[in-house]
C-alpha cells in the first residue's frame, strides 16, 4: 500500500468521524426527528411554562408526536402561548389536555398530550383548552419550607415579671 492510498484512507475516516459528530450533535439538539413531514399546528395557553424551550418534544404515552415551534406571551391574558407542530398521522380529540412535564427529576421539559374521548378531532390551528402548567421546583421547595414554618408551634412569649 502506497503512502498516497493510506492518506486517502485516513482522510475518509476523518470525514466519516466528522459526519458522525454532526449526526450526534443534531440528535442531542432535538433536530434530527420530526420535521420535514406533513404536520399541523396546535396551540395551548399555560399560566407558567417553566423551562420549556422551542424544539422541545411533544409526547403522548412516551412517543414523540411533534415539536414545540414557538413560545410567546399573550399581552391580554399574560399567559404563555405554546404552538406545536404535530405529525399529521396523529389526530387528537377536541377534549384532549396538554401538560408541561419534566423528563426525570431535573431533566428537560416537554409537552405531554393526553387524548380525550370526544369523537371530533382538533383541527389545524385549534386551541387545546385543558392545560396544566409546569411544576417549578423552586416554588415547591418554597411552599414546603413556608408550610413547615407554619406548622411548627411558636415558642411561648416571654412575660415580663411583675414589680415586687
Q: Tens of pLDDT along 130-148?
A: 888 877 777 778 888 887 6
Q: Quick check: 65 and 92 in contact, CB under 8 A? A: no
Q: What is the mean pLDDT of the chain?
A: 83
Q: Quick check: 71 and 52 in contact, CB under 8 A? A: yes
C-alpha grid cell, residue 131: 392545560
Q: Cite the DSSP H helix spans in the chain.
A: 3-28, 137-151
Half-sphere exposure of 22 (CA within 13 A, CB side): 6
Q: Quick check: 63 and 57 in contact, CB under 8 A? A: no
Q: Quick check: 110 and 101 in contact, CB under 8 A? A: yes
- Tell me the pLDDT tens digit for each residue of 146-162: 876 666 665 555 556 65
Q: Classify each residue of 37-55 as buried b or exposed e, where b means 16 or more C-beta atoms within 10 Å of its C-beta.
A: eebbebbbbbeebbebeee
Please name the residue that has the C-alpha cell 396538554. Answer: 98
pTM as predicted: 0.65
Higher pLDDT pick, 59 / 148: 59
Position 34 pLDDT exceeds 50:
no
Amino acid at each position: 500500500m502506497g503512502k498516497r492510498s493510506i492518506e486517502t484512507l485516513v482522510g475518509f475516516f476523518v470525514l466519516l468521524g466528522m459526519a458522525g459528530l454532526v449526526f450526534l450533535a443534531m440528535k442531542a439538539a432535538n433536530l434530527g426527528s420530526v420535521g420535514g413531514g406533513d404536520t399541523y399546528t396546535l396551540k395551548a395557553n399555560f399560566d407558567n411554562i417553566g423551562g420549556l424551550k422551542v424544539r422541545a418534544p411533544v409526547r403522548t404515552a412516551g412517543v414523540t408526536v411533534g415539536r414545540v415551534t414557538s413560545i410567546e406571551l399573550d399581552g391580554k391574558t399574560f399567559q404563555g402561548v405554546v404552538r406545536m407542530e404535530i405529525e399529521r398521522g396523529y389526530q387528537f380529540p377536541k377534549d384532549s389536555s396538554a401538560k408541561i412535564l419534566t423528563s426525570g427529576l431535573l431533566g428537560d421539559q416537554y409537552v405531554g398530550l393526553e387524548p380525550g374521548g370526544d369523537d371530533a378531532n382538533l383541527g389545524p390551528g385549534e386551541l387545546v383548552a385543558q392545560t396544566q402548567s409546569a411544576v417549578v421546583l423552586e416554588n415547591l421547595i418554597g411552599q414546603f419550607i413556608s408550610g413547615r414554618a407554619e406548622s411548627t408551634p411558636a415558642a411561648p412569649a416571654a412575660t415580663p415579671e411583675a414589680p415586687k
